[in-house]
Amino acid sequence: MPSLIKKRSGDYVLYDRKRIANAIKKAFLETGEVDTPEEIADELSKIVEERIQKYEIPSVEQIQDEVEKLLMEKKYTRTAKAYIVYRETRKKVREAKKILGVEDDLKLTVNAIKVLEARYLLKDEKGKIIETPRQMFYRTARYIALVDALYFDEVFDLSGKQKRRNEVFAGKSNLGVYEMDMLKRAYRRLNFKGHMKVDFSEFIRILNDKWDIIEERIKEFYSIMVNRYFIPNSPTLMNSNTRLGQLSACFVLPVPDSIEGIFNAVKYAAMIHKSGGGTGFSFSRLRPKGDIVASTMGVASGPLSFMRVFDVATDVIKQGGKRRGANMGVLSVHHPDILEFITSKDSENKVLSNFNISVAVTDEFMDALLRDDYYPLRNPRNGEEVKRIKARQVWDLIITQAWKTGDPGVIFIDEVNRKHPVKHLGEIESTNPCGEQPLLPYESCNLGSINLSLFVENGKIKWDKLRKVIHIAIHFLDNVIDANRYPLPQIERMTLLTRKIGLGVMGWAEMLIKLGIPYDSEEAVELAEKVMKFINEESHRASMKLAEKRGVFPAWEGSEWWKKGMKIRNATTTTIAPTGTISIIAGTSSSIEPLFAIVYVRRVLEGEELLEINPLFEEIAKKRGFYSEDLMLEIAKSGSIQNLDVPEDVKRIFKTAHDIGPSWHVAMQAAFQKYVDNAVSKTVNLRYDATPEDVEKVYMLAYQLKCKGITIYRDKSKKEQVIDKADKAIEGILKRKEKELLQVKLFPEEYVKLDSTETAACRDGTCD
């Protein structure tokens, strides 16, 4: 038998007959032409092995040619045809990727390659892609793993009692210029705090001597990313080992009640957007419209006027040259301008188009609402009550506007602060643009998500495998804090003070499908608690393990962790982010959302439309013999299979966001929130015919179940929305496909592989 196989790229890999058998078995499974596909595939693979002996080093194409001939010889006509179509499909997909200028060395979907080409893969000065997806993951893994050298026993002193060391480098190093810059920054911070035992030059020598240890860490980080078990937030992938070096996605900036303070915040936001991050603001400290400005005896224009300034500034800055900026605007329900704020956005996104907005609702307000009573509006300039209004009036306006436009969402701000582990540092007033990361002023946080769909084997969750990835991911995210180049010194100080990280999940809907559990069931909600409790507890253990060697976060004393006597490295460790583009890269469903549709259209990358199909549904449909292109077309019209001729048990596990009752959406969010340190980004997707009363039930249930915030989106309430069913777009897509090089079967699995739903972050298209 041959020892090597020549790939299409020209590289050589070890020969493995099992791969031939597996390809033949897949073809048999698709056609159902034989009763024992595995046995027959194994027999045929042995014949193929004999036939390729004639080649010195057989190529992939030559092996596939032999498989094709053999299937025809053995009269497996349907399977041979399916195999030929599959080869042709793969060829067209490779050609499409080639047009994008990306060498796909991971066999990703076309959608993933489009996203990587547009945002993630490094380019030269002429805009040509200069790395592959594998190289991107390796670049990131190596950059983040280098941080481990700072904590070698010969280098790091936990007590912080060392004298300041020489930070000048004299000598040679195999490190790249950006790697060296990063290590200098991180070394300088630790040196300032008295943690460094050796001069910087000696540190680099030790790093070189112990490179085998760093190499093992690189392999560990690389492995969980390249296998898509875990993927960090976008800026970490985009900016690792680059001049920019900014690795965090989430920021909150204060907006003081002064012209200088306001425009400083505008400037700082522009700097953050330029580096690839998103910003959250509370405008609750700004004096209301019409209030007197003592210094000039003029009249204040109010928070809304300044929000428009932030919005225009965001419009002009494209994040790191990759994407437009995203903002969260928060106003306290007690602010005198709250009614104007609630009605500030329209469904056409003509006003505050770069903002998601949320009302910071207090317990005081909710108590008044439940009593059907009045509550106070207060001038933030002096805290004086200026008016009392009916809580019901404000609540109804919030509900009506959310029903009309998707905004505003609600943040239960007292619940947020009750659960905040470092409340001794101050109160949280805002979140990042997506709502999942409540932060103190000038804090940032770096996130990453575990792909839960890959932790199911033979209908069971692989808990040990999940535990291992959690520990590696927490180590990775803690390293990111040290590796980061912060856009502002204030942000650097606050972030290092609390060292918050946010490990989340994606692929939850796919995990449930693989387990055969309907999303809208008690079993699913109970499993959500079990899975997130496991992740949260293991992430805490991993952080505590890091604290033993690296120390607790600097603001530990006085924190809730300190009160419990628990030494931990990071003030928070878990967050449920929307996982927009990273779930496309991972090839799974977004975050904890149900499937948005079985087939639908996603608008990404400056309005481009991508047709999406759920691969798990396609696989089951083919295995059970009810797959057809006509069925796919029918599904494309509505996105759902509930009224189609599909087996009932399949219908149960493939319910889409609009098939699931709103209360189940909230119950799922609450189940995850119960074991999440930070917050959960999720949108309750409602059908077009949902009423304002339905919206109110959702918001009230979220309050009762102790969610930290809630957002709804009623289908078609915005003219342009991030994710849409394919009823109107499908005809145009099919026509375009005839003109494009990607002329494949109607819905090949390679064309798309994402199932998602609108998220709190993405309802306006202002986040990933």
Q: Is 436 a known active-site residue?
A: yes
User: To the nearest whole percent, how much of the chain has pLDDT over 90?
Assistant: 70
* For residue 182, pLDDT beyond 90: yes
pTM, rounded to two decimals: 0.88
pLDDT (0 to 100) of residue 575: 98
Distance of alpha carbon 507 from alpha carbon 583, whole angstroms:
8
Q: Is 432 a known active-site residue?
A: yes
Q: What is the mean pLDDT of residues 274-294?
A: 89
* For residue 295, pLDDT beyond 90: no
pLDDT single digits (tens) 589-622: 999 999 988 876 655 444 555 556 788 998 898 8
Q: Does residue 590 contact residue 580 with C-beta atoms inside 8 Å?
A: yes
Angle at 112 between CA 4 and CA 323, to 5 degrees: 140
pLDDT (0 to 100) of residue 529: 98
From the list 501, 576, 565, 566, the residue with the least C-alpha distance to 539 is: 501
Q: What is the mean pLDDT of residues 516-537?
A: 98
The sign of the CA dihedral 51, 53, 54, 60 is positive
pLDDT band (50, 70, 90) for residue 200:
very high
Q: Does residue 594 contact residue 509 with C-beta atoms inside 8 Å?
A: yes
Q: Kind and range of the H or E element at 97?
A: helix 77-99
Distance of alpha carbon 434 from alpha carbon 680, whole angstroms:
9
| Most confident range, picked from 23-27, 274-278, 377-381 | 377-381
pLDDT single digits (tens) 477-486: 999 999 999 9
pLDDT single digits (tens) 532-583: 999 999 999 999 999 999 999 999 999 999 999 999 999 999 999 999 899 9
- Residue spans of the domains in the chain: they are 4-99, 113-239, 250-431, 445-564
Distance of alpha carbon 40 from alpha carbon 21, whole angstroms:
9
pLDDT (0 to 100) of residue 317: 80
pLDDT (0 to 100) of residue 293: 76
**250-431 CATH:** 3.20.70.20
Q: Kind and range of the H or E element at 63?
A: helix 60-73
Which is the catalytic residue, given 349, 415, 434, 492? 434
Q: SS3 sequence, 374-428?
A: EEEEECCCCCCEEEEEEHHHHHHHHHHHHHHHCCCEEEEHHHHHHCCCCHHHCCC
Q: Kind and range of the H or E element at 276?
A: none
Place of tokens 């856009």: 487
* For residue 738, pLDDT beyond 60: no
Q: What is the mean pLDDT of residues 217-240?
A: 97
pLDDT (0 to 100) of residue 721: 62
Distance of alpha carbon 70 from alpha carbon 714, whole angstroms:
54
DSSP codes of every residue in 679-747: -B---EEE-TT--HHHHHHHHHHHHHTT-SEE-EEETTSSSS-SEEESTTHHHHHHHHHHHSS----SS
What's the distance, CA 672 to chain centroid? 16
What's the distance, CA 23 to chain centroid? 32
| Mean pLDDT over the full length of the chain | 89
Distance of alpha carbon 694 from alpha carbon 511, whole angstroms:
28
pLDDT (0 to 100) of residue 339: 97
pLDDT (0 to 100) of residue 745: 32
**Measured over all CA atoms, what is the biggest interatomic distance in the chain, rounded to whole angstroms?**
93
User: To the nearest whole percent, how much of the chain has pLDDT over 70?
Assistant: 90
* For residue 353, pLDDT beyond 60: yes
* For residue 736, pLDDT beyond 50: no
For the purposes of burial, counting CB atoms within 10 Å of the CB of 619, is it exposed (0-12), middle (13-18) or buried (19 or more)?
Answer: middle
pLDDT (0 to 100) of residue 724: 55
pLDDT single digits (tens) 457-469: 999 999 999 999 9
Distance of alpha carbon 447 from alpha carbon 678, whole angstroms:
11
Which is the catalytic residue, given 30, 66, 436, 510? 436
pLDDT (0 to 100) of residue 729: 45
pLDDT (0 to 100) of residue 604: 47
Which is the catalytic residue, given 239, 349, 356, 432? 432
pLDDT single digits (tens) 690-704: 999 999 999 999 999
pLDDT (0 to 100) of residue 297: 58
